[in-house]
Amino acid sequence: MIGETPLAYDPQFEGPIICVKGLRNSFGDFVVHEDLDLDVRKGEILGVVGGSGTGKSVLMRSIIGLQKPDEGDVKVFGESLLGRSDAETVEIRKRWGVLFQGGALFSTLTVAENVMVPIREFYPKMDREFRREVAKYKVCLSGLPPDAAPKYPSELSGGMKKRAGIARALALDPELLFLDEPTAGLDPIGAAAFDSLTRELQQTLGLTVFLITHDLDTLHAICDRVAVLADRKVIAVGTIDELLAMDHPWIQEYFNGPRGRMAAPKQG
């Protein structure tokens, strides 16, 4: 179609990777977000926290274009995505990977084939044999045992599904990674391994990560900054120390509650 050429992008773009301005989302009369602003800087791991039902998943869905906001603007890599067709945004969608809260694996494909789907969609010309190899090692990179690759999602445990979802999100070596509660349902060893994998990828590939989590250990271990969602807005963004200096009751409760204190690194 005329005018549907993919947006060219600028790899040297240095502004905020994600820029959300004045976002408003609602379901019927129920307003989830109102006048929400958020910037995610290049190369950082941004933790997003908030009580259950405060709209973290909905925020992620509106950034990646699955939920059409009522108002406001969303820019990713400096390009506004609202009102653009799939054909126009393909170059941008190639550059991000998404892990959904429920895993969202394709149930009729094996784990390795799930990982191959985005590769085949975006790089159809890649050598078939090499594509299989990439898929197989991505599966192992996400911490699954090698014999999990030819299994179907219904044959996996809950935590293994999560890892398979991570493998699919990492399939394209994205520059921007959206993770919705990646460590929920993982054993502590697996969760720690996931933390170090994320850190490793962020440092070597310069990855930017939008990480929704309830896992205080993950927040302390790998997040550069944390955004707090409450009252339909992002009420604060900053390092954990900066957040602790604020006297918002919810933030204090969150980081200084019994669990928050346990997860905090011991002061020397």
Q: What residues line the site for other proteins (CB under 8 A)? A: 8-11, 94, 107-108, 110, 112-113, 116, 119, 123, 125-127, 129-130, 132-141, 144, 146-154, 170, 172-173, 200-201, 204-205
Does 265 bind ligand ATP (CB under 6 A)? Our answer is: no
Neighbouring-strand partners of residue 178: 98, 210
147 binds, among Mg ion, other proteins, ligand ATP, none (CB under 5 to 8 A by kind): other proteins
CB atoms within 10 A of CB 255: 22
Residue 55 Cβ vs ligand ATP, minimum distance, rounded to whole Å: 4
Q: What does the alpha-carbon distance between residue 166 and residue 118 come to, in Å, rounded to a whole number?
A: 13
Residues 6+ apart with CB under 8 A from 5: 87, 88
Q: Is 268 in the site for ligand ATP (CB under 6 A)?
A: no
Q: Which of Mg ion, other proteins, ligand ATP, none does 235 bind, CB closer than 5 to 8 A by kind? A: none
Radius of gyration, alpha carbons of the chain = 19
Q: How many other β-carbons are positioned within 10 Å of the β-carbon of residue 54?
A: 20
Min separation Cβ 260 and ligand ATP, Å: 16
List Cα–Cα distances, 81 to 18, 114, 177, 180, in angstroms.
Answer: 11, 26, 17, 20
Q: Give the other-Cβ count within 10 Å of 102's Cβ.
A: 12
Q: Which residue's beta carbon is nearest to the bound Mg ion?
A: 57
Partner interacting with residue 27 (select from ligand ATP, Mg ion, other proteins, none; CB below 5-8 Å by kind): ligand ATP
Encoded amino acid at 35, one letter: D
Q: Where are the alpha helices (DSSP H) in 100-239?
A: 111-122, 128-141, 158-169, 188-205, 216-222
CB of 44 to Mg ion, least distance (A): 21
Within 23-52, the residues that bind ligand ATP by CB under 6 A are: 27, 32, 50, 52
Tokens standing for residue 72:
């406001």
x/- map, 120-159, ligand ATP, by CB under 6 A: ----------------------------------------
**With respect to Mg ion, which residue has the nearer C-beta, 57 or 208?**
57
Choose between 99 and 171: whose C-beta lies nearer to ligand ATP. Answer: 99
- For residue 55, state whether it binds ligand ATP (rule: CB under 6 A): yes
Nearest to 165 by CA among 127, 118, 201: 118
Least Å distance between CB 35 and ligand ATP?
16
- Please, which residues bridge with residue 21 across strands? 73
Least Å from the CB of residue 53 to ligand ATP: 4
**Phi, psi angles (nearest 5°) of residue 35:** 55, 50
Binding site for ligand ATP (CB under 6 A): 27, 32, 50, 52-58, 101
